[in-house]
Amino acid sequence: MEFNRLLKLIQKYDRQGPRYTSYPTVPQWTDSFGEIDTRKKLKELQKKPNRKVALYTHLPFCEEKCYFCACNVVITKKKEIAQTYIQYLKKELSLLQEDLLNYEVSQLHWGGGTPTYLTPAQMEEVFGIYLKYFHLSSNAEISLEVDPRVTTLDHLKMLKSLGFNRLSMGVQDFDEKVQAAIHRNQTYEQTLTLHHQAKKLGFESINMDFVYGLPYQTQKGFQENLSRILELKPDRIAFYNYAHVPWMVPWQKLIPMASLPQADLKLELLCTALELFEKAGYVAIGFDHFALAKDELVSAQKKGTLRRNFMGYTTQRDTDLFGFGVSAIGELEDAYVQNQRKLAHYYKDLDQNKLPVMRGYGLNQDDLLRRDIIWELMCNLNLKISDIEEKHGISFFESFQKELNLCEELVADGFLEISKEKIQVTDIGRIFLRNICMVFDQYFQMQMEKSPKRYSRTV
């Protein structure tokens, strides 16, 4: 598509909107959903045999704060604090002991923060907690996020010995001026060394995170840095649009607004990346994610079985997600639950032998219907009308007449193709996936009227 035409579309559709790692999205969740609701849901799941589960653990500690980051982190150089945290993780799982029996784990992920803030011995201790309560499938995906600035060869050797087979590596940008503005100094050599070490040790899949829209990024510098990443040929790339939300993330105020790229430059950066990714053999997965053509995510998308959860895109459909640690989120079939976001509150609840539940949400039938629609569009770029009608017992065109009227503009702008059989996202529509899904989000307009600064920009 011609550049000026695409720029006009971005200017038209670049508004605030959810990323749809869940539906309903987090602002809809409520603190009236608590420990009792969580235990009830876990007991219901226990009655359903052969359900697969994924485990997420939040390890929140970092030595320094990256100004662009919106993750829930605890900044400290006092390494002994991690040992205290491990003891509370043990307490959390022990309180759930009766509800965790007989599950086979198909996916395990540690996020943060910086999981490799822990020492190798501490990582072994944390992993042992899960072996006490769960059985890991022989082909389980076992992954974590790593920071090349603090991750050592000893870390990698320990992780490999425990069975970790996947890494997600933060990169963001190598330009020194950009790094200074976001307070993250990471050399290309550090990234290169860690990548080579991980490959030599036999990690099956390596993902790298790269961000566009950061302060002081230029077309020339961005292209050079992205080309250096592609020389390493990571298996997957998470390519994020920087979400500048200083009303939610106070330290982002330290990034000067004037340093952020304007819409035309951001579009140039995006187009540059898309062109480079295609030339290097990467396939777009949903939005923000790319994988080499041989990757299982690509195969899953072709089969229409790709799924999205709080850990990103996954091949594992119909898998419950158990979240442990401060701020961790669980997805329990038709319910979401989130732990306390503040470390002191997380500790306080556990000291009182309470599950550290902060909020959650139980989905109704309409939520489940709309979640299926949004998932299919976000993951597989194709909604088969008959599948939705058969699963939910509805007439799609009667139930979603209002939404389909709103889709007319998206069709006219070339984002969607709609027939009696399906809704198909076009190649250009991939860039505007969040805008497309917003049409089917019944809570969105009401939320925007009450709190217009709740979300990041969609493009």
Residue-range domains of the chain with CATH? 22-362 (3.80.30.20), 365-450 (1.10.10.920)
Q: How confident is the model at residue 457 (pLDDT cuts 50, 70, 90)?
A: low
Residue 62, SS3? strand
Question: pLDDT > 70: what percent of the chain?
Answer: 97
Q: Is the pLDDT of residue 103 over 70?
A: yes
> In this predicted structure, what is the pLDDT of residue 454?
58
> In this predicted structure, what is the pLDDT of residue 6?
83
- Mean per-residue pLDDT, 348-366: 98
Q: Is the pLDDT of residue 249 over 80?
A: yes
Do residues 329 and 337 make contact, with C-beta atoms less than 8 angstroms apart? yes
Residues paired with 323 in a beta bridge: 56
Averaged pLDDT score across all residues of the chain? 92
> In this predicted structure, what is the pLDDT of residue 96?
93
Q: Is the pLDDT of residue 181 over 80?
A: yes
Give whichever of 11-25, 224-238, 300-314, 441-455 has the largest mean pLDDT. Answer: 224-238
Characterize 359-377 residue by residue with b for buried, 16 or more Cβ atoms within 10 angstroms of its Cβ, and e for exposed. Answer: bbbbbeeebebbbbbbbbb
Secondary element (H or E) of residue 168: strand 166-172
Beta pairing, strands 52-59 & 104-112: parallel
- Mean per-residue pLDDT, 324-352: 97
Q: How confident is the model at residue 18 (pLDDT cuts 50, 70, 90)?
A: confident
- Mean per-residue pLDDT, 67-91: 94
> In this predicted structure, what is the pLDDT of residue 456?
62
